[in-house]
Amino acid sequence: MDINQRRIDRIRQSMLNIGINSRELAKRTGLSESSISRILSGEIVPRQRNFMALATALRVDYVWLMGYDESNLIDIDKLTPANRARLRAYYQGLLDSQEDRS
């Protein structure tokens, strides 16, 4: 299974888990119903900030929703709270710089 299909499956499963439809997901994320439909069909891949909105609306971990498994991740829980905050700020800076260029 490719990563985009894994993402779609995780979005769909998360919607089922909390009992919402695509119309409600659109309301919760601020995305249009058309965008949600296109994401679920695999026609488009959400931008990073939209994945964040989806993860928040679906009450799931952002990295998991992106299609990654925990076995492939760094265990950030081993970091001190201050270092976790620094890592998140650095990561957000990278995302912001990508979006500025696109």
DSSP the chain: --HHHHHHHHHHHHHHHHT--HHHHHHHHT--HHHHHHHHHTS----HHHHHHHHHHHTS-HHHHTT--GGGS--GGGS-HHHHHHHHHHHHHHHHHHHHH-
Q: What is the pLDDT of residue 79?
A: 80
Q: What is the pLDDT of residue 101?
A: 54
CATH of domain 1-68: 1.10.260.40
Which regions of the chain carry the CATH code 1.10.260.40? Answer: 1-68
Mean pLDDT throughout 3-29?
94
pTM for the predicted model, two decimal places:
0.68
pLDDT tens readout for residues 51-87: 999 999 999 988 889 888 755 556 667 788 898 888 8
Q: Which two tokens stand for residue 43?
A: 């026609």
- Using 50, 70 and 90 to split pLDDT, how confident is the model at 102? very low
